[in-house]
Amino acid sequence: MDAQADVAVQFQKLMDDQRISSVYQPIVSLRDGQVMGYEALTRGPVDSPFHSPLGLFQYAEQQGELYRLEQLAREKAIQGSILEHKEQLLFINISSHVLEDPGFIPGKTLDILEKYGLSPSNVVFEITERSSIEDFSLAKKILAHYRTQGYRIAIDDAGAGYSSLQAIAELQPDFIKIDRSLIEDIHKNKVKAYILETFVTFAQKMNIALIAEGIEQIEELAKLTQMGVHYAQGYLLGKPAISPARLQDTHRMIIWQYRNVQGSNMTWHIGGLKTPVGVFHTQTMISEIADYFKKSQEAVGVVIVDDERPVGLMMRDRLFQHLAGQYAYSLYWNRTIDSVMDATPLIVDEQVAVEQVSLLATSRAIHHLYDLVIITSNGKMAGAASIRTILESITNVRMESARVANPLTGLPGNLQINRELSKRINEKEPFHVIYADLDYFKWFNDRFGFQKGDQLIQYTADVMQQSVAFYGTPYDFVGHVGGDDFIAISTTVSPKLLCQEIINRFESGVSHFYEGEEWEHVVDRSGVQVKSEGVTLSLSLVMCNSESPIALEHISQTAAQLKKQAKAHQGSIYYFQALGST
């Protein structure tokens, strides 16, 4: 038997014995650092030439077996699914050729899902770019069939070629996966960043979620979070595996810190937007709820509960659609509401961040996009919020943030800094304030120009954020006082370690701004020559330990005194002082 025939035999045996398996790579939310879902990736037997998915699927396509292989791969992906709760999503790859295969049978996947206890709302079909779509009208027809059942659609490899952009325009997916070629070193490449900014703006307007692929560097993760990308996937966050992923605390901290900055420190909760809503028990007659809607014209929906816990949602328009048929009244009028309610509504705790709820809500299937969001308190019914209310509140906060944020770094400005300090003081819990000031910045600006000066300011902002992300806590705050002055407010248990990290990070990169030049002296603001190798960083650490209120003026005065001591010292350094009882 020649080699080619042997390969053919191995492939047929692989298919007949179903010797493929799935591994799962996590997709992580850049809003809260939680795993939102997994992409199922097919693997062939380790002891065969088909272990690599690329070789396996290419051979199947050559042999006219692609549809059969993908059908088997979908079943294996669903069978081995590691989803941990019903909100998580399973991304399953489908090549565009399969959509045009005459043997394609819509509905087959639904049977497999039911067999393994999943629903279409858990599944995202990811259209891969193994080949471009030739018949968009057929593809749209098939995908529309899936969407009506509750499935969602993703377009893979966006940014890697024209065909993927055409697929986005024609198919209007729920998710766009940004190709690794656009993500790699995006923190260093302004052109890539500008292209991705366009994707972010487009996605916001179209209610599409972006997933950045191939994240391998911490700096890429920080940049993508700061830019407002929704989700990320890559070896940095988790390699393909057969068990649920656990994100490293360091990576979660980076997401928290940069999410807070990008979102103008928007950490307010959905509970603040809840309003009363009609509540009925699962055994309430449909006729009673129909009467309620007729009497309460302003009510768009009602929540269905069982023992004070929400278990379903009934929207006004959907109920009357049920009752609109010729025999609908006789079929439904005397049945209980649990027979027609939406049993999988979006239910969130009142402490969940508004932006996270917005992302969950706008990622729903199109026919559920404007459904009420149910809000609970300790698992019990608390209220509801409309999509309009949620989006309007986010827009208002972003407009306010843009108005007062520093235009160079995008960090919160003085108004937000004062609010944050006042809030920490009123909470009567220990916290630490770090003021950062660049030494000899005027000399640097005069020598290298304002553009380089702006870059050094932005670098310092990044140093502050990255350091807080590593050694701070999720609700820590970084602000830009103005010029070359910054502030961090933290509840870390190691404030001195945080200060040293800021200095180490600053010192490790500042020399790159000198363009290879060397000198022995710099000039201070008074025009006096000072022996120094360049720009240094002075930090004031004020540790506020008192359980009784500390005056904001006291913090400022203490920081100013410490800053004076630090600036009298050559090189980057921090001085500290504790206020109140320890």
What domains lie within the chain, and their CATH numbers?
A: 19-260 (3.20.20.450), 270-392 (3.10.580.10), 407-579 (3.30.70.270)
Q: How far is 154 from 554, CA to CA, in rounded Å?
A: 54
Predicted pLDDT at 158: 67
Q: Are 220 and 188 in contact (CB under 8 A)?
A: no
Predicted pLDDT at 124: 94
Predicted pLDDT at 89: 94
Predicted pLDDT at 264: 41
Q: How far is 212 from 197, CA to CA, in rounded Å?
A: 12
Residues of the chain with pLDDT under 50: 130, 261-266, 582
Q: How far is 57 from 73, CA to CA, in rounded Å?
A: 10
Predicted pLDDT at 32: 77
Half-sphere exposure of 564 (CA within 13 A, CB side): 6
Beta bridge partners of 209: 175
Taking Cα atoms as reference points, which of 288, 282, 319, 287 lies closest to residue 303? 282
Could you tell me which residues come within 8 angstroms of residue 578 by beta carbon, excluding any fewer than 6 positions away?
543, 545
Q: Are 364 and 371 in contact (CB under 8 A)?
A: yes
Cα-based distances in Å from 417 to 263, 340, 477, 485: 15, 50, 9, 12
Burial class for 89, CB neighbours closer than 10 Å (0-12, 13-18, 19+):
buried
Q: Are 173 and 147 in contact (CB under 8 A)?
A: no
Question: b/e for 142-180, b at 16 or more Cβ within 10 A?
Answer: bbeebbebbbbbbbbbbbbeeebeebbeebebbbbbbbb
Q: For residue 346, give both structure tokens.
A: 């979006």
Q: How far is 139 from 486, CA to CA, in rounded Å?
A: 53
Q: How far is 525 from 281, CA to CA, in rounded Å?
A: 73
pTM of the model: 0.60
Q: How far is 199 from 178, CA to CA, in rounded Å?
A: 9
Q: How far is 54 from 109, CA to CA, in rounded Å?
A: 23
Full DSSP string of 317-333: HHHHHHT-STTHHHHHT
Predicted pLDDT at 406: 83
